[in-house]
Structure 1
Amino acid sequence: MTEPDWVQHAIWWQIYPLGFVGAYPADPPPAAEEHRLRRIVDWLDYTVELGASGLALGPVFASRTHGYDTSDHHRIDPRLGTDDDFDHLVAECRARGLRILLDGVFNHVGTEFDRFREAQEGGDRSWFRTRGRDFVTFEGHGGLITLDHSNPDVVDYTVEVMCHWLSRGADGWRLDAAYAVPDRFWAQVLPRVRERFPQAWFVGEVIHGDYSAIVRDCGFDSLTQYELWKAIWSSLNDTNFHELAWSLTRHNDFMDTFVPMTFIGNHDVTRIASQLDDPEHVEHALTILMTTGGTPSIYAGDESAYRGVKEERFGGDDAVRPEFSSPGEGVGEHGQQVYRTHQHLIGLRRRHPWLHEARTESLRVTNEGLVYAARSGEHMLVVALNIDDAPMPVSLPELGIESGAVIAGSGAPPTEQLTDAVVPPHGWLVIAPR
């Protein structure tokens, strides 16, 4: 594993800036003089109170539409503000001990990227993949032009951009569409960036494939753990904890090579409160996220039970990328309860930093119930999840554990010591063995 030591304590609060500050979609778009990036500063105390230790930003660089069609990697999107606004955000994060993760799009660029406009006008085409006279686009999107990653100039450019913003205060990069980029490209780029910034963290966006091989061949510190994300909500909806147990076994295999970036929501998927058939099970999903190995990320709004469905159409992401007003505004009692649960479980995670590298072992699995142990060295927690309409008894001695104390759970106050516990219907418990 290559990740920096500070990542063991990292819990990200992820935002999509263009949507968050109402800069996209917006007609007319805001001007740089509105300094909308500074609105994020109003949420930094909230981020700390939630328990997060870092801010994971979506695209902040100049683009024409949604941010992933970059036109200038060296310039803050004028709809968000200016370089000074970015520096202000960095300073305010630093004052609160918050890390910053940037979102880098280096698989493709937008049609307003200077070198692409020059190529269209008959200039150098070597920066871009071509098929005959046509430029190759990313997944058929005409506004996203694929870079030629075999070109040494593209390698040099990517290294320079990443180093530029790390020198301006970023702590790492989420590398968008990393799955579409040749492994050898990252293997050339990342060592050069690490040479200058050895404490930087690099996470590749990968949806499926041989995660461990990708990490080894590319040199990433981490990858987005979409397999676990899918298994969490799917097993809860289908009343099939066998799926989750299998995915946790796979997760253990990944942990032997790297620590994945784990999540139950992000800017590209339906929000967890909308994805789950039973709103009570949001707590189960969060419990799994916070008690398994990984570097957790909370998507802004999920901690207050925001809803939103992603649709496969133009503008289909807008519902999951809304504008935010001020902390707490418009959040009802249910949202406040979900927020308090997030605070509690994030706090539990931070009190047990060994969970970052924990392996999970299923101790008892049925369709409706799952009991697993999270272990690292001599440390262990037992997690019991029940999605049945009936209570679920748990006998610790039958699991090979003498006794324990409930340290978190639904409908169950903390206990000094017990040998038997009952998980309420559609409830959950976290038990610390004694």
Structure 2
Amino acid sequence: MSWTDHVIWWHVYPLGFTGAPIRPDGPVEPAPRLRRLLPWLDHALELGASGLALGPVFASQTHGYDTVDHFRIDPRLGDDADFDELIAQCRARGLRVLLDGVFNHVGAEHPLVRRALAEGPDGEVADWFRIDWSAPDGPRPAVFEGHGSLVALNHETPAVRDHVGDVLRHWLDRGADGWRLDAAYAVDPAFWAAVLPGVRDQHPDAWFVGEVIHGDHADIVRSSGLDSVTQYELWKAIWSSLADRNCFELDWTLRRHGELLTVFRPATFVGNHDVTRIATTVGPDAAVLAAVVLLTVGGIPSIYAGDEHAFTGTKEDRLGGDDAVRPEFPEAPDQLAEWGAGTFRAHQQLIGIRRRHPWLVDARTETVELTNTRYVYRAHASDDTAGDAWLQVELDVTGTPAAVVRDPGGTELFATG
């Protein structure tokens, strides 16, 4: 049995969570902000999570996804000693740790970008990037999705492959359990197929999940060697079905989700650092229904910090447009507002159900009843190891959003209200 059979992630965006300056005007005084996470580890345990999924913690220019040194903790968050203490405290509580690695691109101020541009096309590191040396306004590196501050790496260069492998091993050696690979959809799967075997040789239990937004998820997993990819299709169907009162979309997507589960366990979520908060999109009552789906279908789920307390926040397409969904948290959980307590208890109960029915990680769903505003499905064990195990989930958004989870005997294991 692998530790990933039962992991439930509590996902934190450290720069925002700890109040680090995101877009500093000048040099920033180093501070051990990573230690602000320590009082929250017991909160993760109380929630029922078994892993801490960290957003970027490496030296970067602004938001963490414009890395300038993969081997150094961002000074806004601290240093190696602060990272080591966080790992130690997670270990003491049995919490796994997932790191967020950006290997599709680097920040435009990365030393190797500067060096490549300074040395020219014949320079030693020129082939780390795809640079148009004949551009009329001077050398122009290829960038990620039009963002001039994010310079794309050239994944066909062996030195890039070696560098990424070295980074992955370095932090696994330091105590991490796995990696989220940012913008994996933009990287040729063959790159990961070349990098990961050498890492797995030394860390066979490490888990690798790629950020994939579109494409053939199953084929990407097969050809890349990744363990999982993000299930944005299910995320969209959950909130859209609740917001638009169209349960047919969720039913259709759960059928697709079942097909993916025959190949791998998708990384499932209803919130993360890149999207509008679920309680904003569908309202706090229906946000609990979103959690019901998340925690009763197959996959490896994560709870974005704050969603378990009905945090709100809208993502906007502008500079600073992520700030509202990446807020600073108080110093300790007991400073959270009381109005989120009911949502927290609902998450605890649902995670408890998942813990008592571990076969849910591979569960397939069967439709029992379906209208626009009412959806009843059964989550079945996928093989004989759990016997003929199943749970029935009833969702209703005809009026006030309501949900019930029942066992085969009809006993209510969870009910809203």
TM-score by length of 2: 0.93
* Residue 49 of structure 1: aligned partner: 46
**1:402 shift after superposition:** 7.7
The correspondence for 2:144, drawn from 132, 138, 147, is 138
* 8 Å contact from structure 2 (residues 289, 403) kept in 1: no
| Structure 2 residue 240 is matched with structure 1 residue 240 | no
The correspondence for 2:176, drawn from 155, 166, 170, is 170
SS in 2 for 1:292: coil
Judged with a 3 Å threshold, the aligned counterparts in structure 2 of structure 1 residues 325 and 331 are, in CA distance, closer, same or farther, namely: closer
* Residue 323 of structure 2: aligned partner: 318
Per-residue deviation, residues 358-403 of structure 1 (Å, max 9, x unmatched)? 1111111110101101111322111011111389999x9xxxx984
* 8 Å contact from structure 2 (residues 308, 343) kept in 1: yes
Residue type at the aligned position of 1:338: T
* Residue 75 of structure 1: aligned partner: 72
* Residue 202 of structure 2: aligned partner: 196
**1:113 shift after superposition:** 1.6
**1:327 shift after superposition:** 3.5
**1:346 shift after superposition:** 1.0
Per-residue deviation, residues 19-74 of structure 1 (Å, max 9, x unmatched)? 11111326577532x21111111111111111100000000000111111100000
Aligned 1:142-221 pairs, distance under 5 A: 142-221=148-227
The correspondence for 1:307, drawn from 312, 322, 328, is 312
**1:330 shift after superposition:** 5.5
Distance in 2 between the 1:287 and 1:95 partners?
A: 30
* Residue 127 of structure 2: aligned partner: 126
| Structure 2 residue 366 is matched with structure 1 residue 369 | no
Unmatched 5+ stretches in structure 2? 134-138
Distance in 2 between the 1:273 and 1:334 partners?
A: 13
* 8 Å contact from structure 1 (residues 106, 147) kept in 2: yes
SS in 2 for 1:355: helix
* Residue 231 of structure 2: aligned partner: 225
Distance in 2 between the 1:389 and 1:333 partners?
A: 25
| Structure 2 residue 112 is matched with structure 1 residue 115 | yes
Aligned 1:323-362 pairs, distance under 5 A: 323-328=328-333, 331-362=336-367
Distance in 2 between the 1:393 and 1:143 partners?
A: 45
The correspondence for 2:274, drawn from 259, 265, 268, is 268
* Residue 381 of structure 1: aligned partner: 391
* Residue 98 of structure 2: aligned partner: 101
TM-score by length of 1: 0.89
* Residue 256 of structure 2: aligned partner: 250
| Structure 2 residue 37 is matched with structure 1 residue 40 | yes
Identity, in percent, stands at: 57
Across the aligned residues of Structure 1 and Structure 2, the Cα RMSD in angstroms comes to 1.9
Please identify runs of 4+ aligned residues in structure 1 that moved more than 6 A.
390-394
Unmatched 5+ stretches in structure 1? 412-434
* 8 Å contact from structure 1 (residues 369, 392) kept in 2: no
Residue type at the aligned position of 1:94: R
Distance in 1 between the 2:166 and 2:409 partners?
A: 55
Per-residue deviation, residues 206-237 of structure 1 (Å, max 9, x unmatched)? 00111101111111100100000000000011
Count of residue pairs brought into register by the alignment? 401
